[in-house]
A and B are shown apart, each in its own frame.
Chain A
């Protein structure tokens, strides 16, 4: 849409379903066309946002385990990964910046470089794990807490060792 002050670009920005000239239009054909357009635009968002960070920590090739983390759990996972690597574990991290639309290909690429996946997150349902299973071919193991306290690096280290034991 043209910015105000652009000669010839006059339009109305409305929350109502509207046609090409900005007038409200509720026909089902128009609604379908507009939904199609909105969801097509949404796909492009993946390319506008910085890609997910892959935390290899110098681990080359296949990792024995990959950790996926989002939000404030990222810092905890970074620290846990450092401790694990210092003890000889081949582990990597993956920190998405965008959850919707999910950058599925980035998840797939990371998943392909790890033998197993663990997804610790602070909510009862394992919401991101659920989302990843729905939108990619990956099947990360979910690790959730919801008591109101964050994970500690030690909790992550312990769980990873249990899995890889």
Chain B
């Protein structure tokens, strides 16, 4: 696949320390919140890649987790609940030269935003989606989310729940994400390594970071997440999607959580396919999607 592409400017290296990717706004979540770990992991990954903040766009929806972009030195958009994905898709398609990262919660991504998830994966949008999975709605003070364990008592389930929780990682493997990884957010080293891999990957990268909510989820604590997360075995074949699914299922049956890089493959991204199509029908190789959209303005 040699579709015409604008240069990947974000891989023009800059030398910045993790703290240089932290802007002047004080990061603020509850004491002990796992989201701090996600921020630390992201800052480290950005520094290791050497992303130029001017070419980085961090998009979020609504939630405690979705406040993360406020703290990052980058272009950023705090959008609507559940709509980070579509906005980020637009940014990526209009500007394939930018590095696009979504950070958001399990409620944001898989409740109200659930309808968008399979399409970002199957279209292979070239961006990194970091799910800050605390298995609860934090911002609205403790309601059940699609990833909550059935036993979780919350304001909407005072006697415990009646549904089984979903697995975001299995979901993404099913719908065709080309990079799927999982870790405990408190393991900033692993989280950073997986985010870096996701950002360097060309295609839709999904990273599930398990992030404890000490205020509203008593079941999934830092301790339970840390103990449950187990790296996939040394010989795990990351190019085999069924091996990845099997690893997730097997770990689950044993009460553990498969972590590390689960799956990675290459196929054309949506912007590449679009560029190729434009060329095939005789269009200009440097077509500008924004100019095309401008044609339909009043």
Residues of chain A at the chain B interface (Cβ within 8 Å): 3-16, 23, 49-50, 97-98
Contact = CB atoms under 8 A, between A and B. Distances in A.
Contacts of B82: none
Interface in B77-98: 77-80, 91, 95, 97-98
21 contacts: A3-B95, A4-B55, A4-B56, A4-B75, A5-B97, A5-B98, A6-B54, A9-B75, A10-B75, A11-B75, A11-B76, A12-B75, A12-B77, A13-B76, A13-B77, A14-B78, A15-B79, A15-B80, A16-B78, A50-B298, A97-B298
B57 interface: yes
B82 to A, nearest CB: 13
Contacts of A10: 53-54, 73-75
Contacts of B25: 23
A123 B25 CA distance: 50
A23 B70 contact: yes
B55 A5 contact: yes
Contacts of A49: 298
B98 A4 contact: yes
B69 interface: yes
Nearest to A2: B75
A22 to B, nearest CB: 8
Contacts of A8: 54
Contacts of A98: 298
Contacts of B74: 10
B96 to A, nearest CB: 11
B245 interface: no
Contact of A5 (B9, B76, B80, B298): B9
B78 A4 contact: no
A19 to B, nearest CB: 12
Given A15-B78, A50-B298, A4 B53 contact: no
Contacts of B97: 5
Given A5-B98, A97-B298, A12 B78 contact: yes
A12 B69 contact: yes
B80 A12 contact: no
A5 B75 CA distance: 8
Contacts of B53: 10
Interface string B54-74: 111100000000000110011
Contacts of B55: 4-5
B213 to A, nearest CB: 22
Given A10-B73, A23-B25, A5 B95 contact: yes
Nearest to B97: A5
Which 9 A-B pairs have CB atoms at the shortest separation, nearest pair first?
A4-B75, A14-B78, A13-B77, A12-B76, A7-B54, A4-B57, A5-B55, A4-B98, A49-B298
Interface in B11-59: 25, 53-57
Contacts of A7: 54
